[in-house]
Amino acid sequence: MGVLTSILSVLFVILCVLLIIVILLQADKGAGMGILGGAGQSTFGSSTADIITKITAAMVIIFMAGSLGLAILESKKTGSLKDKILNTESAESGMIEKTDVPAESADQKDSGSNK
C-alpha cells in the first residue's frame, strides 16, 4: 500500500506541474476587454483556445479524482496506524494496578506519633 501511495503521489505531482503549465499557456480572455470590447479574439478565431480549454478541463477532473483517491488512501493508512496504536495501548495500558495494602492498626499509628 505504501508503494502504491508513493507512485500515485509522484504521478500527482507531475499532473500538478502539467496543469500549471497548461493554465499558464492559456490566453487571458480579459486582456481584450476595454475600449474594443474584446473584439480581437473573435477576429482571429479561438480554435486553439478551445483545445487548451478542453485539455485543462480534463486535467482538472483528473486532479480532483487524484486528490480524492490520495486522501482516501492516506486516511486508510492513518486509520490502520490508529488501530495498531490503540491495540497496543489496550494491551499495555501503562496504568498502575491497585493492590491491596494491609491497613495499619490503630496501635501502630499511636506509637509512631508518640516518638
Please give the pLDDT value at position 74: 85
CA 31 from centroid of its chain's CA atoms: 36
Q: Is residue 52 part of a domain?
A: no
Q: Is residue 95 part of a domain?
A: no
**Range of the structural domain that residue 75 is part of:** 66-90
Query: Of residues 78 and 35, which shows the higher confidence score?
Result: 78
Q: Is residue 61 part of a domain?
A: no
Residues 40, 38: Cα–Cα separation, whole Å: 5
Q: What is the mean pLDDT of the chain?
A: 74
Predicted confidence (pLDDT) per residue in 37-88, tens digit? 555 455 555 566 688 888 899 999 999 999 999 999 888 777 666 677 777 6
Give me the number of domains the chain comprises: 1
Query: Per mean pLDDT, which range of 5-9, 32-36, 43-47, 104-108 is the poorest?
Result: 32-36
Please compute the mean of the pLDDT values over residues 101-109 and round it to a whole number. Answer: 63
Q: Is residue 16 part of a domain?
A: no
pLDDT category at 113 given cuts 50, 70, 90 is low
Q: Closest by alpha carbon to 63, among 5, 113, 24, 13?
A: 13
